Chain A
């Protein structure tokens, strides 16, 4: 579904941020992209979305990510931004959710039906007509996820979905992620969340892919994690 072939990228010439990255994600997989701050997780996602251009080749469902195919590629990808404030730009949750479907040519009735279905599935009907500026951080994150689901993407990309959430909201978000049937790529340094939501883990450090394996094995490897500025998930640390 997603393939990176020898991808490199640098914001400034002398300082490469990603170096020769290659990996493949199959349809239906849930993959955690882990690494300390500055490892290059967000950059990788932006390359995949075609927001940045680097060296090497990236494919989404067999289509290369290029200028000419951006619309087609982006249609398949739903991206939940790290900062939900930047994700939501319309006055109300409803208007924000219907923005994508309408842009993709759905009629207003179809789009509205889809919006209602997503809200119901996430148990968020109450948020529908609320103002984006007047809902709490946790509600906003859920609303941001809802706007992405309303576009019915095949792959869901999430950048730090549990950041800046209290434990209760974090749990709600995790449970929601677990119920999503799509292919998922989740960037985070919240390893407990990754353990709960992903089967496979890609570990990045200094712009290089240093490990790729089952979450249950990799996330138990104390030496590996600590070598790359991370700690065992709380639940596996034996406290």
Chain B
């Protein structure tokens, strides 16, 4: 099995995760979707130096991992390519913002370092929340729920196709790398000179296949109402969950809990 085939298997494993059963899985997709959006909004609304307030938000994904029975390491494994990219965003802050902001004992910590850590944490939290949503809901039910919220059908179809398209593209990539390596034995990876045509081919081939795939969906009556994805009725339990999430996020956002706790310890 080559690298790409393994990547493909991982993608299908996402569907497996979504097919499991837990308190989190049983919640209404819309409740999960909205609470995730609220969570991300709350996380992103923190100022660039508010690291301690933000850190408290780490509790939510930790709790959700517990409730859903999804091991945390799977999340990090799946996000291993995206996570570094997102975290790299704030990497240069320490060079620009050098004024000391606080002191850890005698060590001065510059504003740049704090804002870098804040950005990294924001990225991490948002990714974890999105992963949890996907892993406990599944793409089809998520799309169905988006439609219920009156998100335009075209957008939802686009989301669905992008998700499937990643799979198709990975498959094509697997076939092409294999074909390439058979004709270039002993060579690691793909020669720089061949990248251009390789990428072009990949795009064309996966576009063709994505087109066929979409045709196949249309021919089997696909329309943007997602009848095939069962969405249960929105129950009191779901409403409660959503309200609870909203209240807790608001509270944690407005009340500097970490500072209070810190204050208690120091005093």
Contacts and interface: CB of A to CB of B under 8 A. Distances in A.
Interface of A: 46, 49, 51, 71, 74-75, 77, 79, 81, 83, 85-87, 89-91, 95, 98-100, 102-105, 108, 131-134, 147, 151
Nearest to B138: A91
21 contacts: A51-B219, A74-B218, A74-B221, A79-B216, A81-B212, A81-B216, A83-B212, A86-B168, A86-B209, A86-B213, A87-B216, A89-B164, A90-B140, A102-B228, A103-B221, A103-B222, A103-B223, A103-B228, A104-B221, A131-B12, A131-B16
B9 interface: yes
A85 B164 CA distance: 12
B15 interface: yes
A90 B16 CA distance: 12
A79 B16 CA distance: 28
A133 B221 CA distance: 23
A104 B12 CA distance: 26
Contacts of B227: 102-103, 105
Given A77-B219, A103-B220, A89 B213 contact: yes
Given A81-B212, A81-B216, A91 B19 contact: yes
Contacts of A133: 8-9, 12
B238 interface: no
Interface of B: 8-9, 12, 15-16, 19, 140, 164, 168, 171, 209, 212-213, 215-223, 227-228, 230
Contacts of B171: 85
A83 B213 CA distance: 10
Given A98-B228, A134-B12, 8 more contacts: A51-B218, A51-B219, A71-B221, A79-B219, A81-B216, A85-B209, A87-B216, A131-B16
B139 to A, nearest CB: 9
Nearest to B8: A133
A113 B213 CA distance: 26
From B8, B218, B223, residue with most partner A Cβ within 10 Å: B218
A86 B228 contact: no
Contacts of B19: 91
A74 B223 contact: no
Contacts of A83: 209, 212
Nearest to B12: A133
B207 to A, nearest CB: 12
A136 B261 CA distance: 58
A67 B97 CA distance: 61
Nearest to A107: B227
Contacts of B220: 99-100, 103, 147, 151
From A95, A132, A147, residue with most partner B Cβ within 10 Å: A95
Contacts of A102: 227-228
Nearest to A134: B12
A35 to B, nearest CB: 20
A50 to B, nearest CB: 9
Contacts of B228: 95, 98-99, 102-103
A132 B16 CA distance: 12
Which 8 A-B pairs rank lowest in CB-CB distance, beginning with the nearest? A103-B221, A100-B220, A91-B15, A86-B212, A102-B228, A102-B227, A99-B228, A133-B12
